[in-house]
């Protein structure tokens, strides 16, 4: 990992430890939240499907750290990492997964529909590809309003099979919209590998079809993901049209649910081990050890503080009340 190159983006040497701490904490926080969901799922108090981001934390953090607060993001069913990395409220997220009134959408959507307008996560839409057009529409509005903000669509590798991706990219390129398309390639769509879904060509090639700028990088290297994102974000914010970032990563646990499923036959334990060794957190920890400032003692303290926050948020979610039944029919139409 290119820590020196990364730090050169931050002028003040005094900031460097704070920046490294921030990147580590953001990445670790997602890992700890997701693993705690996995641990507690068997309690059957989180009664909705969960699509965990374990293993994919770095791409979310790398991209979101390159965004400004007012940039607006969209995600999919696998939205937990994007929600947290964009600054979404943890208590509201867990309350939502627990189906409580204090949930970020009042218990109406569950894990697949997380949003936090204060953090700039506009919506998570589970139908594959659906949110890409919404993000593009936001880009259209931002351009008309000359806000200087960009719209970001997070999605997986299967989305470039969906027509709506190409329809959105075609229009965004034509209209030079400030949209950043972030494709997290984790090699699988549920159990089906990429090789059975797309012809043998790099995912980045689809950007050429739409005359769109493209960057490709290691999604498990949070610093590289950040560097690429900075470049792409600058390109988009300067009015050059949309950009596509393809980040390579890997989903550790099953598509939907808390368990590991490397034994059921669609992928091998060896393949999983290969990617586990490329863990975004361990690699960052190794780089931090070499740098020396955010050492293992500091990191343990960070983890301890995070677990206090996370456990508190779980307890709050568990004890929060369910939504009122009489509200089930509300908000069909806006008044």
Partner 1 sequence: MSLPSDKMAPASNERVISFQQAVNEALDISVARDPNVLLMGEGINDPSSFWGTTKGIAERHGSQSVLEIPVAENGMVGVAIGAAMAGLRPVVNFQRVEFALLAIEQIFNNAAKAHYSSNGAHRVPIVIRLVIGRGWGQGPGHSQALETTFAHIPGLKVIMPTFAADAKGMLISAIEDDNPVIVLEHRWLYNLVDNVPVGHYRSPLDGAKVVRSGTDITLVCTAYNTIEALSAAETLSQAGCNAEVIDLRVLNPLNLEKVIESVKKTGRLITVDTGWVTYGVGAEVVAGVIEHAFAYLKVAPTRMGMPNHPTPSSRGLIPGFYPDTVSIVAEVGRSIGMSCEKIEELKLQLQAARGNLPIDVPDPSFKGPF
Interface with partner 1 (CB under 8 A): 72, 104-106, 108-109, 113, 115, 117, 122-123, 125, 127, 130, 132-142, 144-145, 151, 163-164, 166-168, 170-171, 174, 330-335
Q: Which residue, 117 or 301, is less far from partner 1 as judged by CB?
A: 117
10 or 331: whose CB is closer to partner 1? 331
Q: Nearest distance from residue 96's CB to partner 1, in Å?
A: 10
Among 25, 34, 26, which residue's Cα sits nearest to residue 55? 34
| Smallest gap from residue 132 Cβ to partner 1 (A) | 7
Nearer to partner 1 by Cβ, of 109 and 258: the residue is 109
Smallest separation (angstroms) from partner 1 to the CB of 92: 11
CB 121, min distance to partner 1, A: 11
CB atoms within 10 A of CB 15: 12
Tokens 């218990």 sit at which residue? 107
**Burial of 64 by CB count in 10 Å (0-12 exposed, 13-18 middle, 19+ buried)?**
buried
Distance of alpha carbon 321 from alpha carbon 330, whole angstroms: 18
Beta pairing, strands 192-193 & 188-189: antiparallel
Q: Which is nearer to partner 1, 62 or 241 (CB)?
A: 241
Contact 184, 59 (CB under 8 A): yes
Please say which residue, 138 or 272, places its beta carbon nearer to partner 1. 138
Q: Which helix (H) or strand (E) holds 217?
A: strand 213-218
CB closer to partner 1, 136 vs 185: 136
CA distance linking residue 126 with residue 115, whole number of Å: 12
* Least separation in angstroms between CB 301 and partner 1: 37
Tracing tokens 């036959």 back to the chain, one arrives at 265
* Closest distance of CB 74 from partner 1, Å: 8
> Is residue 87 left, alpha or beta, with left meaning phi > 0 and alpha meaning psi from -120 to 50?
left
């Amino acid at each position: 990992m290119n820590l020196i190159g990364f730090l050169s983006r931050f002028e003040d040497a005094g900031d460097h430890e704070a920046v490294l701490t921030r990147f580590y904490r953001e990445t670790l926080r997602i890992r700890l939240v997701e693993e705690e969901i996995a641990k507690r799922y068997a309690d059957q108090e989180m009664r909705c499907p969960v699509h965990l981001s374990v293993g994919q934390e770095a791409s979310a953090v790398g991209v979101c750290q390159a965004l400004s607060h007012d940039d607006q993001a969209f995600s999919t069913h696998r939205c937990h990492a994007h929600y947290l990395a964009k600054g979404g409220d943890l208590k509201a997220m867990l309350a939502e997964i627990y189906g409580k009134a204090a949930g970020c959408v009042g218990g109406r959507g569950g894990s697949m529909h997380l949003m936090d307008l204060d953090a700039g996560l506009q919506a998570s839409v589970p139908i594959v590809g659906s949110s890409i057009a919404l993000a593009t529409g936001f880009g259209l509005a931002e351009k008309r309003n000359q806000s200087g903000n960009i719209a970001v669509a997070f999605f997986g590798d299967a989305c470039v099979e969906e027509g709506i991706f190409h329809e959105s990219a075609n229009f965004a390129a034509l209209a030079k919209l400030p949209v950043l398309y972030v494709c997290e390639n984790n090699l699988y769509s549920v159990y089906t590998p990429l090789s059975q879904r797309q012809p043998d060509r790099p995912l980045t090639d689809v950007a050429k079809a739409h005359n769109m700028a493209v960057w490709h990088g290691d999604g498990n290297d949070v610093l590289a993901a950040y560097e690429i994102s900075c470049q792409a974000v600058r390109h988009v914010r300067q009015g050059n049209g949309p950009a596509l970032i393809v980040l390579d990563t890997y989903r550790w646990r099953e598509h939907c649910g808390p368990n590991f499923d490397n034994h059921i036959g669609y992928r091998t334990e060896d393949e999983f081990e290969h990617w586990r060794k490329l863990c975004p957190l361990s690699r960052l920890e190794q780089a931090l050890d070499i740098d020396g400032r955010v050492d293992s003692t500091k990191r343990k303290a960070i983890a301890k503080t995070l677990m206090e926050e996370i456990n508190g948020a779980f307890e709050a979610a568990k004890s929060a009340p369910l939504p009122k039944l009489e509200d089930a029919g509300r908000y069909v139409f806006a008044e």
